Amino acid sequence: MFVPRSLKIKRNANDDIKSCVAKKIKPEAEDLHLDKGRDVDALVSKETTAPDRPRSESGSFPSPAGQLAEAGLVGPEQGAEEPVKSFSKTQRWAEPGEPVCVVCGRYGEYICDKTDEDVCSLECKAKHLLQVKEKDEKLKLSSRQKAGSEPEPSPLDDVYVYKEHPFILNLQEDQIENLKQQLGILVQGQEVTRPIIDFEHCGFPEALNNNLKKSGYEVPTPIQMQMIPVGLLGRDILASADTGSGKTAAFLLPVIIRALFERKTPSALVLTPTRELAIQIERQAKELMSGLPRMKTVLLVGGLPLPPQLYRLRQHVKVIIATPGRLLDIIKQNSVALGGIKIVVVDEADTMLKMGFQQQVLDILENIPNDCQTILVSATIPASIEQLASQLLHNPVRVIAGEKNLPCANVRQIILWVEDPAKKKKLFEILNVSNEAVNHVL
């Protein structure tokens, strides 16, 4: 079954197929019209002697549209002229921020309900399902080869409880303090757990450990070393670190683990100030969630059509990644219930306040249970963040990696005065020079 991503979230397959069937029958109708010598009674006789077809309950023959609708095609609303695209070559390329087909990379206009992945056409849907089938067969074959081995229990069969690794427990207190000092980790709070040195010390499920390796996470960064174990214990956190220090993974891992073992949906919420940042976080979350049972995300941001987001929200998603404005609109429509949320992350909290989202964030958090774990993440901790933390956090742990209240030293800010018509040209000049100098642009 397909679900389109346009504003016309659903369409009756009968309407589109009727238009297609009409086009296919038209040449036959013209031939009958041109064959003036044919007797009308002969036509009636021919219809009555046509091959038997199953009739509906009303006694009429099922239309081709109904047959195709039974095959699982769902398109936009009635009255839409475009049928479901059959081939990927007829689909346009995706624009920035739009969903991408998992097979060919074009615009993912539809969602395959069997796998919950974005596809662009019937062709790519068939290819995607074939790939999934082959992957499942390989997994079954590998499991059969493990003769005599008992099947591993599903991660949802157990309850995850973080315990300090024996290697960490055996370290002396002065060794821990020396490690924090060398890495620039500053911790404030009561009964703070020790930092980890390797992701293996967290005791994650095997699938999550494999996803970390595939995504290039080999050794945790300083902010991850301290923030991950504190988050896994369910403590409220106020974290600050430079841009590019790994803050996103530091809060995503506790979010994934908390949502993985919760039955209610949704069970985790991540708030970000901009659409682009939300898209980036969701992409990273999907990489880390790959292969974990019943782990789905939804992106609720402005600038993209609302109906597909509402449809996705109804698919028992575990993690919501949203901008405050769009989420607040959906809450006012009573289209989402946040009573099952167990962990909330406010990312880029300083930027959130600068953009005037403080009241919106507070309004959203009023719909969340009081015992929910809350994590505030910020590049800097000005007085406004301190005040917000005092309102939202309960007995928090403060984790600071790098210089406190200072912007990232690796980012250089340059102001250029450019006339409006020449902005695009100047931008490409800067990008070309930067690419030649360092081979990449942040």
Closest among 388, 361, 412, 399 to 247, alpha carbons compared: 399
Convert the pLDDT of each residue in 37-81 to its tens digit. Answer: 444 344 334 443 444 444 444 444 444 444 444 444 444 444 445
At residue 58, the pLDDT reads: 43
Convert the pLDDT of each residue in 116-171 to its tens digit. Answer: 888 889 999 999 898 888 888 888 777 766 544 444 444 455 678 899 999 999 99
All domains of the chain, ordered by start, with CATH?
2-128 (3.30.60.220), 166-401 (3.40.50.300)
- Give the Å distances, CA to CA, from 205 to 134, 158, 215, 234: 24, 11, 16, 18
Return the beta strands (E) in 333-393 as ranges: 343-346, 373-378
Confidence of residue 417 (pLDDT cuts 50, 70, 90): confident
Confidence of residue 420 (pLDDT cuts 50, 70, 90): confident
3-state secondary structure 251-295: HHHHHHHHHHCCCCCCCEEEECCCHHHHHHHHHHHHHHHCCCCCC
Beta strands 117-119 and 319-322, pairing class: unpaired
In this structure, what is the dihedral angle of CA atoms 254, 260, 262, 263, given to the nearest 10 degrees? 160
At residue 1, the pLDDT reads: 52
Per-position b or e across 44-61, b if 16+ CB within 10 A of its CB: eeeeeeeeeeeeeeeeee
Confidence of residue 11 (pLDDT cuts 50, 70, 90): very low
At residue 146, the pLDDT reads: 58
**pTM listed for this prediction:** 0.60
Closest among 162, 376, 381, 371 to 270, alpha carbons compared: 376
Convert the pLDDT of each residue in 379-391 to its tens digit. Answer: 888 888 888 888 8
Q: Contact at 8 Å (CB) between 111 and 102? A: no
